[in-house]
Amino acid sequence: MDQGEKPPAFYTSGWKDRDNKIPSDPNSLFKIASISKLYTAIASTKLVKEKRLFFDKPLTDYLPDLKGRIENAEEITL
């Protein structure tokens, strides 16, 4: 929910490092394995349906900084 000018609140639970009992924090990174592919596909498809994303547009339309950094980035589509 938008809180106006208030900074966002972050909440965490669990362990950043279970063996050493280090609690997680908002900057903790976790491996989420292949399940992320499902969420990416669903989110992408919803954005295409809303005409906010297009599978046939080049990657550089969305990430212009990749031009020249990734070979053929201007031709790669989602």
Where do we find the tokens 């669990």? 14
Considering only residues 33 and 29, tell me which one the structure prediction assigns the higher pLDDT. 29
- What is the structure's pLDDT at 76? 94
Q: Is the pLDDT of residue 1 over 80?
A: no
Quick check: is 12 in a domain? no
Give bridge partners of residue 22 from the DSSP assignment.
Answer: 17
Quick check: is 58 in a domain? yes
Range of the domain at 61: 51-78
Residue pLDDT, tens place only, 34-74? 788 899 999 999 999 999 999 999 999 999 999 999 999 99
Residue 15's nearest CA partner among 26, 7, 23, 25 is 23
Q: Is the pLDDT of residue 3 over 80?
A: no
Quick check: is 63 in a domain? yes
Residue pLDDT, tens place only, 15-25? 999 999 999 99
How many domains does the chain fold into?
1
Quick check: is 37 in a domain? no
- What is the structure's pLDDT at 49? 97
Quick check: is 25 in a domain? no
